[in-house]
Amino acid sequence: MATYAGIDWGASHHQLAAVDAAGVELFNARHAHDVDGLDALIGRLRALPDLIGVAIERSDGIIVDRLHAANLAVFPVSPRVSARARERHQAAARKNDRFDAFVLAETLRTDGHRWRSIRPPSDLLAELRHVVRHRRQAVESQIMVEAQLRETLLAYHPAVVGLFSSVDRDATLAFLRDYPTPRAAALVGEARMARFCARIGYTGRVPASVLVERVRTNLLSASEGRLTTLT
Protein backbone atom coordinates (compact mmCIF):
# COMPACT_ATOMS: atom_id res chain seq x y z
CA MET A 1 0.00 0.00 0.00
CA ALA A 2 1.40 3.41 -0.99
CA THR A 3 2.27 5.89 1.76
CA TYR A 4 2.89 9.63 1.73
CA ALA A 5 4.81 11.86 4.13
CA GLY A 6 4.86 15.55 5.00
CA ILE A 7 7.36 17.56 7.03
CA ASP A 8 6.60 20.86 8.71
CA TRP A 9 10.18 22.01 9.18
CA GLY A 10 11.47 24.43 11.78
CA ALA A 11 14.68 25.89 13.17
CA SER A 12 14.79 23.68 16.27
CA HIS A 13 12.53 20.76 15.37
CA HIS A 14 10.60 19.16 12.49
CA GLN A 15 7.12 17.62 12.55
CA LEU A 16 6.80 14.47 10.44
CA ALA A 17 3.45 12.98 9.45
CA ALA A 18 2.53 10.09 7.17
CA VAL A 19 -0.73 8.88 5.64
CA ASP A 20 -1.65 5.75 3.75
CA ALA A 21 -3.37 5.49 0.36
CA ALA A 22 -6.78 6.03 1.99
CA GLY A 23 -5.68 9.20 3.81
CA VAL A 24 -5.50 7.56 7.22
CA GLU A 25 -2.78 9.11 9.39
CA LEU A 26 -0.15 6.54 10.29
CA PHE A 27 1.86 8.70 12.69
CA ASN A 28 2.61 12.33 13.49
CA ALA A 29 5.79 12.91 15.48
CA ARG A 30 8.24 15.68 16.34
CA HIS A 31 11.96 15.29 15.73
CA ALA A 32 14.70 17.59 16.99
CA HIS A 33 16.94 19.39 14.51
CA ASP A 34 20.09 17.57 15.52
CA VAL A 35 21.96 14.46 14.40
CA ASP A 36 19.90 12.04 16.49
CA GLY A 37 16.62 13.71 15.58
CA LEU A 38 17.29 13.69 11.84
CA ASP A 39 18.52 10.10 11.99
CA ALA A 40 15.26 9.09 13.70
CA LEU A 41 13.23 11.05 11.13
CA ILE A 42 14.98 9.33 8.21
CA GLY A 43 14.56 5.97 9.94
CA ARG A 44 10.78 6.49 10.23
CA LEU A 45 10.55 7.36 6.55
CA ARG A 46 12.61 4.37 5.46
CA ALA A 47 10.34 2.07 7.48
CA LEU A 48 7.24 3.19 5.56
CA PRO A 49 6.05 0.68 2.94
CA ASP A 50 6.06 1.91 -0.66
CA LEU A 51 6.77 5.53 0.26
CA ILE A 52 5.88 7.76 -2.70
CA GLY A 53 7.68 10.82 -1.40
CA VAL A 54 7.98 13.60 1.17
CA ALA A 55 6.28 17.00 0.85
CA ILE A 56 8.04 19.96 2.48
CA GLU A 57 7.86 23.74 2.20
CA ARG A 58 11.42 24.22 1.00
CA SER A 59 13.70 23.11 -1.80
CA ASP A 60 17.13 23.17 -0.14
CA GLY A 61 18.82 23.02 3.22
CA ILE A 62 20.22 20.36 5.52
CA ILE A 63 16.98 18.42 5.90
CA VAL A 64 16.45 18.27 2.11
CA ASP A 65 20.04 17.11 1.70
CA ARG A 66 19.46 14.35 4.25
CA LEU A 67 16.29 13.22 2.47
CA HIS A 68 18.12 13.05 -0.85
CA ALA A 69 21.02 11.19 0.75
CA ALA A 70 18.48 8.58 1.87
CA ASN A 71 17.25 8.26 -1.75
CA LEU A 72 13.82 9.67 -0.88
CA ALA A 73 11.73 11.64 -3.35
CA VAL A 74 11.29 15.24 -2.16
CA PHE A 75 8.37 17.36 -3.35
CA PRO A 76 8.75 21.10 -2.58
CA VAL A 77 5.47 22.82 -1.77
CA SER A 78 5.08 26.59 -2.08
CA PRO A 79 3.58 28.44 0.91
CA ARG A 80 0.60 29.46 -1.25
CA VAL A 81 -0.21 25.88 -2.15
CA SER A 82 0.09 24.72 1.45
CA ALA A 83 -2.07 27.65 2.66
CA ARG A 84 -4.85 26.71 0.23
CA ALA A 85 -4.51 23.06 1.26
CA ARG A 86 -4.96 23.97 4.93
CA GLU A 87 -8.15 25.84 4.07
CA ARG A 88 -9.65 22.61 2.70
CA HIS A 89 -9.41 21.00 6.13
CA GLN A 90 -9.74 23.94 8.46
CA ALA A 91 -11.42 27.31 8.01
CA ALA A 92 -9.55 29.16 10.77
CA ALA A 93 -5.98 30.07 9.87
CA ARG A 94 -3.81 29.10 12.83
CA LYS A 95 -0.34 27.63 13.13
CA ASN A 96 -0.19 24.02 14.27
CA ASP A 97 2.82 21.88 13.45
CA ARG A 98 1.00 18.55 13.67
CA PHE A 99 -1.82 19.76 11.48
CA ASP A 100 0.51 21.37 8.93
CA ALA A 101 2.58 18.18 8.61
CA PHE A 102 -0.57 16.12 8.11
CA VAL A 103 -1.90 18.53 5.45
CA LEU A 104 1.39 18.32 3.52
CA ALA A 105 1.26 14.51 3.53
CA GLU A 106 -2.44 14.43 2.62
CA THR A 107 -2.00 16.98 -0.18
CA LEU A 108 0.85 14.95 -1.61
CA ARG A 109 -1.53 11.97 -1.62
CA THR A 110 -4.34 13.83 -3.42
CA ASP A 111 -2.41 16.26 -5.67
CA GLY A 112 1.09 14.85 -5.83
CA HIS A 113 0.57 13.28 -9.24
CA ARG A 114 0.71 16.84 -10.64
CA TRP A 115 3.95 17.73 -8.84
CA ARG A 116 7.55 17.18 -9.78
CA SER A 117 10.11 16.02 -7.25
CA ILE A 118 13.45 17.77 -6.81
CA ARG A 119 16.38 16.11 -8.49
CA PRO A 120 19.29 15.50 -6.11
CA PRO A 121 22.09 18.00 -6.84
CA SER A 122 25.53 16.96 -7.94
CA ASP A 123 28.26 16.88 -5.29
CA LEU A 124 29.69 20.15 -6.62
CA LEU A 125 26.31 21.90 -6.64
CA ALA A 126 25.50 20.62 -3.15
CA GLU A 127 28.82 21.95 -1.85
CA LEU A 128 28.24 25.30 -3.56
CA ARG A 129 24.78 25.57 -1.99
CA HIS A 130 26.27 24.93 1.44
CA VAL A 131 28.87 27.67 0.92
CA VAL A 132 26.25 30.15 -0.31
CA ARG A 133 23.89 29.31 2.54
CA HIS A 134 26.60 29.73 5.19
CA ARG A 135 27.76 32.99 3.62
CA ARG A 136 24.18 34.31 3.66
CA GLN A 137 23.85 33.36 7.33
CA ALA A 138 27.17 35.07 8.11
CA VAL A 139 26.07 38.25 6.34
CA GLU A 140 22.73 38.25 8.16
CA SER A 141 24.52 37.83 11.50
CA GLN A 142 26.91 40.66 10.65
CA ILE A 143 24.02 42.97 9.78
CA MET A 144 22.25 42.11 13.04
CA VAL A 145 25.36 42.71 15.16
CA GLU A 146 26.07 45.99 13.34
CA ALA A 147 22.52 47.17 14.02
CA GLN A 148 22.86 46.31 17.72
CA LEU A 149 26.20 48.15 17.93
CA ARG A 150 24.72 51.20 16.20
CA GLU A 151 21.78 51.36 18.62
CA THR A 152 24.11 51.03 21.60
CA LEU A 153 26.40 53.79 20.32
CA LEU A 154 23.48 56.10 19.55
CA ALA A 155 22.34 55.72 23.14
CA TYR A 156 25.74 56.18 24.80
CA HIS A 157 28.49 57.30 22.41
CA PRO A 158 26.92 58.97 19.34
CA ALA A 159 30.16 60.67 18.34
CA VAL A 160 31.35 57.40 16.81
CA VAL A 161 28.23 56.90 14.67
CA GLY A 162 28.71 58.51 11.27
CA LEU A 163 32.38 59.25 11.89
CA PHE A 164 33.41 56.82 9.17
CA SER A 165 31.36 55.01 6.52
CA SER A 166 29.90 52.39 8.92
CA VAL A 167 30.10 51.42 12.57
CA ASP A 168 31.71 48.05 11.82
CA ARG A 169 34.69 49.48 9.90
CA ASP A 170 38.15 48.87 11.35
CA ALA A 171 38.65 52.64 11.66
CA THR A 172 35.44 53.04 13.69
CA LEU A 173 36.32 50.16 16.02
CA ALA A 174 39.86 51.49 16.48
CA PHE A 175 38.52 54.96 17.39
CA LEU A 176 36.11 53.37 19.84
CA ARG A 177 38.95 51.45 21.50
CA ASP A 178 41.09 54.59 21.83
CA TYR A 179 38.23 56.90 22.86
CA PRO A 180 35.62 54.69 24.53
CA THR A 181 33.62 57.51 26.16
CA PRO A 182 32.08 60.79 24.93
CA ARG A 183 34.35 62.68 27.34
CA ALA A 184 37.44 61.13 25.77
CA ALA A 185 36.20 61.78 22.23
CA ALA A 186 35.52 65.44 23.06
CA LEU A 187 39.26 65.98 23.70
CA VAL A 188 40.24 64.93 20.15
CA GLY A 189 41.57 67.83 18.11
CA GLU A 190 42.71 68.00 14.50
CA ALA A 191 46.34 67.10 15.25
CA ARG A 192 45.39 64.13 17.40
CA MET A 193 42.90 62.93 14.78
CA ALA A 194 45.58 63.17 12.09
CA ARG A 195 47.97 61.08 14.19
CA PHE A 196 45.22 58.55 14.84
CA CYS A 197 44.44 58.19 11.12
CA ALA A 198 48.12 57.78 10.28
CA ARG A 199 48.60 55.16 12.97
CA ILE A 200 45.72 52.96 11.86
CA GLY A 201 46.49 53.42 8.16
CA TYR A 202 43.23 55.19 7.36
CA THR A 203 43.02 55.54 3.58
CA GLY A 204 39.78 57.50 3.34
CA ARG A 205 39.66 60.87 1.61
CA VAL A 206 38.07 62.69 4.54
CA PRO A 207 40.57 65.11 6.15
CA ALA A 208 41.19 65.12 9.88
CA SER A 209 39.49 68.51 10.28
CA VAL A 210 36.23 67.13 8.87
CA LEU A 211 36.40 64.05 11.10
CA VAL A 212 36.86 66.24 14.17
CA GLU A 213 33.88 68.36 13.10
CA ARG A 214 31.77 65.20 12.79
CA VAL A 215 32.70 64.13 16.31
CA ARG A 216 31.84 67.50 17.80
CA THR A 217 28.61 67.81 15.84
CA ASN A 218 27.42 64.40 16.99
CA LEU A 219 28.37 65.19 20.60
CA LEU A 220 26.53 68.50 20.44
CA SER A 221 23.43 66.91 18.91
CA ALA A 222 23.39 64.27 21.64
CA SER A 223 23.74 66.91 24.36
CA GLU A 224 20.90 68.96 22.91
CA GLY A 225 18.75 65.86 22.69
CA ARG A 226 19.32 65.03 26.37
CA LEU A 227 18.51 68.61 27.39
CA THR A 228 15.29 68.52 25.36
CA THR A 229 14.29 65.28 27.06
CA LEU A 230 14.94 66.71 30.52
CA THR A 231 12.92 69.86 29.86
Domains of the chain: 3-119 (3.30.420.40), 126-230 (no CATH)
The pLDDT value recorded for residue 223 is 60
Angle at 104 between CA 99 and CA 106, to 5 degrees: 90
pLDDT in tens, the chain (231 residues): 899 999 999 989 999 999 999 999 999 999 999 999 999 999 999 999 999 999 999 988 889 989 999 999 999 998 888 888 888 877 655 678 999 999 999 999 999 888 999 888 777 877 887 788 889 889 999 999 999 999 999 888 888 988 988 888 899 999 999 999 999 999 999 999 999 999 999 888 899 999 999 998 888 776 655 544 444
- E strand or H helix at 75, and its extent? strand 74-76
pLDDT in tens, 86-135: 888 776 556 789 999 999 999 999 998 889 998 887 778 778 877 888 89
185 burial type by CB count under 10 A (0-12 exposed, 13-18 middle, 19+ buried): buried
Is 98 within 8 Å of 28 (Cβ atoms)? yes
CB atoms within 10 A of CB 182: 17
Its pTM stands at 0.60
Compute the radius of gyration of the chain from its Cα atoms.
28
- How far from 210 is each of 58, 117, 193, 204, 216, CA to CA, in Å? 50, 60, 10, 12, 10
- E strand or H helix at 197, and its extent? helix 190-200
